[in-house]
Structure 1
């Protein structure tokens, strides 16, 4: 009897699974398919074609897919290459605490490309992918001006504290913060526009708002000081770099595909006003599918910049890790990070580190997240291209997620094993 087994059956969304098919004929062509429906009702699917071995088995850790949505040996390919049925959709978990994604795994005889497949599945299994480990707490935050959600690991702590910030998507995005808490970090998912009573659209950045968030987190009895970490992407990484530069509370900053300067809107902090380098909206390109290529809106970072807008990163008191996708479809992130690294070298500064991934795109997320090449971005009011090549991007997510956690532990102090 044919059987498909995925272990563990219930796991965190960033953890790998072992997928094994048995009970088939030797050298039989089969199609493996993964399916899930997100909280908006959008169907995501991935399929790949495999030949069984002499024992009639397929082992995704060993065997190479011949084609489909990916090829080669990809143990987590059925999860990382999920594609939306509705164009420009991005898989973002909304309820991270109470419901997992339920992913159905099917094996079909022969080559099946149609959706739904013409034949009935030979075997099926459903697995659960959770975004919060048992014991993780979610606490809504409405403290002064600060809006967000605090995720606390199981145990008494104290835990290293991290602020998690996203970019032009706006609102409150929690899936990365809940996963970080599952790995031992007290993490504040921080909103800064398009959420509750915050500004409805992205605009001037008030760094004192982010300082207020840092002070709130440091005062929590389960958060270990004296400094915090920041994990941020896109516009959030630009803000994180400002926090690292000007706020003494910040000890470790991870900037994923950000810039080296203030762009689009001014940044204010007490008596300081940093003027922006303006976006060049007229340089946006529209693809045949209707998605926007916004990579030229920020101009060439290697050209002469307005140095009044460039962050004096040499002032940062903590450590900074730049995570860069060299095929970022939004920014020339590699060039921004390289400019900072070269400037710090000339100044004799050693507090910055660069992780650069060839062929990776903009949305470098925790592993297990489907590769997203293009999706809707409210800030631009249309879909945008994120860039990257799927297999290289997926590999970058696996490696960078481990390195990010190592970096935060190194500079904020280790996770207490008794707390997990």
Structure 2
């Protein structure tokens, strides 16, 4: 293994050597989630003529995944019970547990041959984080900053969609570990904030962006808004109406329209005390790059069509900034964000138990995240130049 300790969004290269030629081995993985449940994956391989199995290039004969994939033992892990399509490998927030471990085992003919423990980190040493509160900071969320001494970098204001609470804390921790200050923002369903996605002031997001821009590690000329699902509306609106503050956009499973409040209707967003009208989101004032990522089989809403509309609108507006609109085949609403974590393809409401299909498949979502996340890091790296 080339990386026994690595960030959770980085791949490891696993090779098994000194086997008998064409021998069969079983490679397994296991990790413990937030609730103490042990998730597992396994795959059976046939060694090559030299007695070697390279997980990156060797297709398993059987197992929890079925294509050559060096990280298949990570994203294909399954819980000890229940439908893996309706489960997610939950971890404590990164500031509480900055890493987790994955145990890799190799067996042949019922005999253990080798075992290794890998550390998958959310934060590199020196990353700092703190909770933001309405009382003290005027916004609620979690701020993650790179280690002291890191040169100024682009920064990311990240927020989720209709689930509420603090969105994207793991993404923010990983971004800070890559050198980019990040703020995981909550904007409803938190103490002191609206109970539902309704009448959310765009000024609230602008206040969070200004707080992030003021951090010593932030290059304020390159601040990016990252929104997922319903949060994509806020990200696009923020980049449009605060173009001097926000200089780029990343949206996952996006909409090109302002939708109604959720779940009871009304107006989702306000600006300068007035409701923002439902309908197409204008994009003619963007001041930086845009990256939109959708899954072709999104079952929650038509994000592929919305992504196409975003691309067409930027073309019609002769937008001069770099933009990419990516639609990954077979992926669903869970097309993002960072790769290699085991996640299902349905959302199960923890209160009611109701299940909402997100579309796609676990392998397709995993492949999309592996391809899409580097696009986000590349956008941020390009903004530095």
Give the structure-1-normalised TM-score.
0.81
- SS of the equivalent of 2:69 reads coil
**What is residue 90 of structure 1 aligned with on the other side?**
88
- SS of the equivalent of 2:330 reads coil
Matches within 5 A, 1:11-410: 11-87=6-82, 88-97=86-95, 98-109=97-108, 119=110, 121-142=112-133, 143-156=136-149, 157-172=151-166, 173-248=168-243, 249-265=245-261, 266=267, 267-276=269-278, 309-351=279-321, 352-363=323-334, 364-377=336-349, 382-410=354-382
Post-superposition Cα deviations, 1:162-190, rounded to whole Å, max 9, x if no partner, equal: 10111233222411000011111000111
1:346 deviates by: 2.8
Post-superposition Cα deviations, 1:19-48, rounded to whole Å, max 9, x if no partner, equal: 122343332222211111111223322111
Alpha-carbon distance between aligned partners in 2 of 1:139 and 1:145, rounded to the nearest angstrom: 14
1:348 deviates by: 2.9
Alpha-carbon distance between aligned partners in 2 of 1:121 and 1:386, rounded to the nearest angstrom: 39
Unaligned runs of 5+ in 1: 1-5, 111-118, 277-308, 415-420
**What is residue 297 of structure 1 aligned with on the other side?**
none
**What is residue 305 of structure 1 aligned with on the other side?**
none
**What is residue 298 of structure 1 aligned with on the other side?**
none
Provide closer, same or farther for how the CA distance between residues 196 and 122 of structure 1 changes in structure 2, counting only shifts above 3 A: farther
Post-superposition Cα deviations, 1:340-373, rounded to whole Å, max 9, x if no partner, equal: 2223323333444312211122221212222432
Provide closer, same or farther for how the CA distance between residues 182 and 379 of structure 1 changes in structure 2, counting only shifts above 3 A: farther
**1:42–1:86 CA contact under 8 A, matched in 2:** no
Between stretches 28-37 and 154-163, larger displacement belongs to 154-163
- SS of the equivalent of 2:257 reads coil
**1:64–1:74 CA contact under 8 A, matched in 2:** yes
Between stretches 252-261 and 365-374, larger displacement belongs to 365-374
Provide closer, same or farther for how the CA distance between residues 218 and 160 of structure 1 changes in structure 2, counting only shifts above 3 A: same
1:86 deviates by: 4.4
Between stretches 206-215 and 361-370, larger displacement belongs to 361-370
- SS of the equivalent of 2:14 reads strand
Provide closer, same or farther for how the CA distance between residues 108 and 200 of structure 1 changes in structure 2, counting only shifts above 3 A: farther
Post-superposition Cα deviations, 1:86-122, rounded to whole Å, max 9, x if no partner, equal: 4322124323143421111122335xxxxxxxx5644
**2:228–2:253 CA contact under 8 A, matched in 1:** yes
**1:93–1:175 CA contact under 8 A, matched in 2:** no
Alpha-carbon distance between aligned partners in 2 of 1:154 and 1:382, rounded to the nearest angstrom: 42
Between stretches 359-368 and 247-256, larger displacement belongs to 359-368
- SS of the equivalent of 2:36 reads coil
Give the structure-2-normalised TM-score.
0.88
Post-superposition Cα deviations, 1:366-391, rounded to whole Å, max 9, x if no partner, equal: 12222432232469862322222333
Alpha-carbon distance between aligned partners in 2 of 1:182 and 1:99, rounded to the nearest angstrom: 11
Alpha-carbon distance between aligned partners in 2 of 1:271 and 1:38, rounded to the nearest angstrom: 43
Alpha-carbon distance between aligned partners in 1 of 2:353 and 2:231, rounded to the nearest angstrom: 18
**1:34–1:105 CA contact under 8 A, matched in 2:** yes
**1:238–1:259 CA contact under 8 A, matched in 2:** yes
- Cα RMSD, aligned residues only: 2.2
**1:373–1:386 CA contact under 8 A, matched in 2:** yes
